Amino acid sequence: MKLSSANYRAIGLSLRWIVILMFLLSGFSKFYPNTVDFTKQLVDLGIVNWCKAPMLARLAISLEFFLAFAMMQRNYLRHIVLPATIALLVFFCVHLAIQMSVHGAFAGNCGCFGNLLPMSPFAAFLKNVIAILILAFLWKKKEFLGEEKNNYHVLLWLLAGTTAIIFMLSPYAPCKATPAPVVNTIQASEEATANETVETSQSKQSIVNTSTAIDKAAQGPAEKAPALKTSRFAPYNNFGGNVVTVDNGKKIICQFVPGCDHCQHVGKLLVALSKKEKLPPIYIIFMDEEADKIPTFFKIIGASYPYQLMDPATFFGTLKVPNTPGVTYLWNGNERYNSSGSEKDSFQVQNFLKAVKATQ
């Protein structure tokens, strides 16, 4: 049975919608609930730094939405839209092939659909190949596309509109110059007194089972305080509206994303430890993309601490390993313990306690 031109166009439109839905889902998953994961992926790949990554991430998401919408219409569909889409998918395939050769075909989440739909690099590669074959078939068989129109203004308006909407829905602040550390000797002395009070109350809570006493005796004489050093946190010393002399005395600086499960887990561990052990004061730096989740974060971990907000570029730039959660133990600005992420450099309770007790 010979198909009519209307049947050809209906089949072609159905095939196009397979790719359209793929691009819509890809753009949405990178955009919702925020663009942080995708932005960080661009930095981890070494494509751009944290100052340029937010803009590139939003432009990439805009391009995916633009191509999806452009495939819904017929202006320059065969001469511009389909070739551009195929070229983008080929680029993704090359990138995935490199990643598979380095990390393995089934290692981790490729990030094509963000965390909304985790997908291995091999699955993503196969998905892209299928999409390329569909688009190549449509490009070759004109009858499945119908009559092509030549109003380029439609494409320009689609591109401008999707880009503007993405940037309006997900605004970002450009990188700022690193502020100079605020030195306040009066604040330093007041904070030292406050720290002593906190540590005294904590020690009263945890006092003193036999094993702890034996541990302290085994540690030998107290370690001498190191010389003051300017840490990477020195410029960011405003916690809860108060200037904190970060590099004076002992401090625990945590870097958390409020909605991050691993961050919440480490937060709960620190709260539990603070009830059993003598810990220095804890301060938290939150990434500002999920600031509305901070009250929930404190409710989940069971305590609240002084905190400040930091834009993503600065936040990840101050992490030694650009992954959360981050925990750093400072003594006079000297790092005695540092952990980042949830894998090999993750927070280890015993190593953390060992570092803290070695300075008591």
Query: Of 328, 273, 329, which Cα lies nearest the Cα of 301?
Result: 273
- Asked if 58 contacts 50 with a C-beta cutoff of 8 angstroms, the reply is no
* Mean per-residue pLDDT, 162-167: 96
Could you say which DSSP state residue 77 is in?
I
- Asked if 285 contacts 251 with a C-beta cutoff of 8 angstroms, the reply is no
Paired sense of beta strands 326-331 and 334-340, if any: antiparallel
pLDDT digits (tens, 9 = 90+) for 21-36: 999 999 999 988 778 7
Higher pLDDT, 276 or 323: 276
Region of residue 206 (left: phi > 0; alpha: psi -120 to 50; beta: else): alpha
pLDDT at 323 (0 to 100): 79
Paired sense of beta strands 250-256 and 282-287, if any: parallel
* Mean per-residue pLDDT, 215-237: 76
> For the chain, what are the domain ranges?
5-169, 185-357
Separation of alpha carbons 196 and 347, rounded Å: 26
Other beta carbons less than 10 A from residue 269's beta carbon: 17
- Asked if 188 contacts 241 with a C-beta cutoff of 8 angstroms, the reply is no
pLDDT at 160 (0 to 100): 97
Which residues have C-beta within 8 Å of that of residue 335, sequence separation ≥ 6? 231, 328, 329
* Mean per-residue pLDDT, 283-299: 90
Separation of alpha carbons 298 and 82, rounded Å: 49
CATH superfamily, domain 185-357, is Glutaredoxin (3.40.30.10)
pLDDT digits (tens, 9 = 90+) for 293-315: 899 999 999 999 999 999 887 88
Q: Pull the structure tokens for residue 52.
A: 């340029």
Could you say which DSSP state residue 107 is in?
S
Residue 346's Cβ-side half-sphere holds a number of Cα atoms within 13 Å equal to 9
Report residue 289's pLDDT band, with 50, 70 and 90 as the boundaries. Answer: confident
Report residue 318's pLDDT band, with 50, 70 and 90 as the boundaries. Answer: confident
- Asked if 283 contacts 306 with a C-beta cutoff of 8 angstroms, the reply is yes
Report the alpha-carbon angle 189-315-303, nearest 5. Answer: 60
Report residue 342's pLDDT band, with 50, 70 and 90 as the boundaries. Answer: confident
Query: Of 117, 124, 114, which Cα lies nearest the Cα of 30?
Result: 114
Element holding 165 (H helix, E strand): helix 152-169
This prediction's pTM: 0.68
Query: Of 315, 343, 341, 232, which Cα lies nearest the Cα of 39?
Result: 315
Out of 141-150, 212-221, 251-260, pick the least confident. Answer: 212-221
